[in-house]
Amino acid sequence: MSSSNAMLKPFLSNEKIQETVKKLAVRIKADYRPLTDSGGELIVVVTLKGALFFAADLMREIDMPLLVDFVRVASYGAGTKSSGNVVMTKDLENPVRDNHILILDEIVDSGHTVKFLLEKFKQSDAASVKVCSLLNKPSRREADVHVDYVGLDVEDKFLVGYGLDFNEKYRNLPAVYTLEEK
């Protein structure tokens, strides 16, 4: 599909996204406050580039001390389908050991990306490792991963906007759309 024969159809409004983000923040604050009071920093790990927009909105709802860090991972497979070959091109700047790691992704699809990150941080002796994703496509799962905080389960459709891209485009749209052929 090229951009010229692609059609955007509204899927999630920005209002719905913000409502979902606020609900996630309430749960995260309740769970992490006791943990960080008793030692260890909360490190929010933003998976670039897609989770950037979600992370900026979510973190501003979490009014407690936290550190922000970034990873960049790519997984190569045939076409739009991801594979288990996950490669990390940018690692954290903060130490993982004895800290509480919360991985933020904008969507969990096959689960390979999140599985790779979970294993990596567990091996680095984090005090805890959890995953929060705005969107989740359970029907596409290949890797056995548990997503601790899911904003919304969605059907198997290709989505763009609010960080989600098609060939690097559409990330800056404030809402989420399905991308369909005209």
* Shortest Å distance, C-beta 110 to ligand IMP: 3
Contact window for ligand IMP (CB under 6 A) among 18-26, 31-39, 59-67, 158-166: 158-166
Minimum CB distance to Mg ion, residue 53 (Å): 11
**Interface with ligand IMP includes 57 (CB under 6 A)?**
no
Q: Which of 57, 91, 98, 109 is catalytic?
A: 109
Residues 68-97 that bind ligand IMP (CB under 6 A): 75, 82
Say whether residue 151 binds Mg ion (CB under 5 A).
no
Cα–Cα distance between 79 and 89 in angstroms, integer?
Answer: 20
Count of C-beta atoms within a 10 Å radius of residue 116: 20
Does residue 151 belong to the site contacting ligand IMP (CB under 6 A)? no
> For residue 71, what are the contacts with CB-CB under 8 A and spacing of at least 6?
45, 46, 47, 48, 88, 90, 91, 92, 117
The Cα 167–Cα 81 span in angstroms is 14
Contact 7, 177 (CB under 8 A): no
DSSP-assigned beta bridge partners for residue 115: none
Nearer to ligand IMP, 18 or 167 (CB): 167
Q: Name the site residues for ligand IMP (rule: CB under 6 A).
A: 50, 75, 82, 105-113, 158-159, 164-165
Q: Name the site residues for Mg ion (rule: CB under 5 A).
A: 47, 50
